[in-house]
Amino acid sequence: MFVGVVKMMGQQVGGQERLFYSFNLETVVPPNHLLRGIDRCLDLDGLRQHLTDYYSAIGRPSVDPELMIRMLVVGYCYGIRSERWLCEVVHLNLAYRWFCRLGLEDTVPNHSTFSKNRHGHFRESDTFRWVFNKVVGACMTAGLVKGEGFAVDASIVAAEVSAKLAMLGDEAYVWQNPVQCSRAIREYMAGLDEAALTETVPKRISLSDPQSRWTAAPGGPAFFAYSTNYLIDVAHGVILDVEATPAHRTAEVDSTKLMIERVEANHDLTPERLIGDTAYGTAAMRCWAGWSTRKGLNPMYRSGIRPNARTTPSPTKISDGPQRQANIAAQPARYCGIIGARSRIRTPT
């Protein structure tokens, strides 16, 4: 009986001694794979034309910029933050190779290529924003953007710096030799101007990333961080614009004006209403909304009321019939307001 079992046991034959293989990457990527859906919608045809003026006419050919963008898309979709790791997984994963237009024998770029281009060609040409706007344009073509209502908010992103390598904001400190400073410090020093000197002095300044801001906004111990500010079309939740700022409330509010004006310039979209929490109801924001009346924004701000046993939302009449609450802050943890709603929503007298 034991001998019979051994005879029926399968054994792999052939091994890996073959020199030539008949292989097609198209057949190994499943039809329902995430990257297939992205590939159908991602249009990078104009990328090379966009970067033409930023590449030299002489010298060795560079790495294809479309290849680098596609690899970064893979890293974003699958949470691969390290570019070293990204190069390794693209080298090994057949679906990633297919999406990046790489054959089995094609070489994956070195990880240092991404850093060089991020601080070189891509930054000078604003390539990432160009790709972002192409995606937004595709969403508009598909009818996913209505342009009636925008929502704005910010998320805190921790900076990759040590809290110990810092100095007090009012401490006299001068980087004597810019040549010995890191790139982040050189950019910070180059960006200082008279207007920046009049701003509130931060409590602490990071010596390795001075543009980050010391904050305790999320609660808990303070840390150095940035804010990613999003402008979202509320119809289908499509992000129309993004702006990174230091983790400071004033900078977050100011970025809203920049994003709205940029969306209007790039996509010819002007919202009927802008939704945000009460932090966006500053005097500067109200003045800007008043100046923007000619663009269709009525200078109104209805702040949300923290829900409790002693507050009752006041009704607001709409000219075409039913009533709804002016206070749209019925959530227990957050409360919202409407900035710049059109005049069709009127408060009862």
At 63-87, the pLDDT tens digits run 889 999 999 999 999 999 889 999 9
- Asked, for residue 163, whether it belongs to a domain, the answer is no
Residue 68: its pLDDT value, please? 92
Confidence bin at 280 (pLDDT 50/70/90)? confident
Query: SS3 of 237, please?
Result: coil
Q: Is the Cα dihedral 186, 244, 338, 146 positive or negative?
A: positive
Q: How confident is the model at residue 305 (pLDDT cuts 50, 70, 90)?
A: very low
Tell whether 261 is covered by a domain. no
pLDDT in the model for residue 126: 87
- Least confident among 141-145, 184-188, 243-247, 325-329: 325-329
Rounded to two decimals, the pTM is 0.71
285 phi and psi angles, rounded to 5 deg: -70, -40
Residue 132 pLDDT > 90, yes or no?
Answer: yes
Residue 91 lies in a domain: yes
Tokens of residue 326, six digits: 């002016």
- Domain around 27: 20-136
Residues 124-129, mean pLDDT to the nearest whole number:
89
Do the domain assignments include residue 195? Answer: no
| Residue appearing with tokens 């089995």 | 104
**What per-residue confidence (pLDDT) applies to 34?**
94
Return the closest-CA partner of residue 131 out of 245, 61, 35, 45: 45
Range from 102-111, 183-192, 277-286, 338-347 carrying the lowest mean pLDDT = 338-347
The pLDDT of residue 301 is 46
Q: pLDDT confidence of 159, banded at 50, 70, 90?
A: confident
Task: Compare 242 and 345 and report the one with higher pLDDT.
Answer: 242
Tally the residues of the chain: 349
Residue 81 maps to a domain? yes
* pLDDT(12) > 50: yes
Banded model confidence at residue 187, pLDDT cuts 50, 70, 90: low
pLDDT confidence band for 11 (50 / 70 / 90): confident
Evaluated on CA atoms 194, 199, 200, 202, the torsion sign reads negative
Please say whether the beta carbons of 23 and 105 come within 8 A: no
Kindly state whether residue 120 falls inside one of the protein's structural domains: yes
Q: How confident is the model at residue 160 (pLDDT cuts 50, 70, 90)?
A: confident
Tell me, yes or no, whether 237 lies in a domain. no
Number of domains in the chain: 1
pLDDT on residue 238: 93
Q: How far apart are the first and last CA of the chain?
A: 96
Q: For residues 175 and 24, which has the higher predicted lDDT (pLDDT)?
A: 24
Predicted confidence (pLDDT) per residue in 223-263, tens digit: 888 889 999 999 899 999 999 888 887 788 888 888 999 99
Residue 1: inside a domain: no
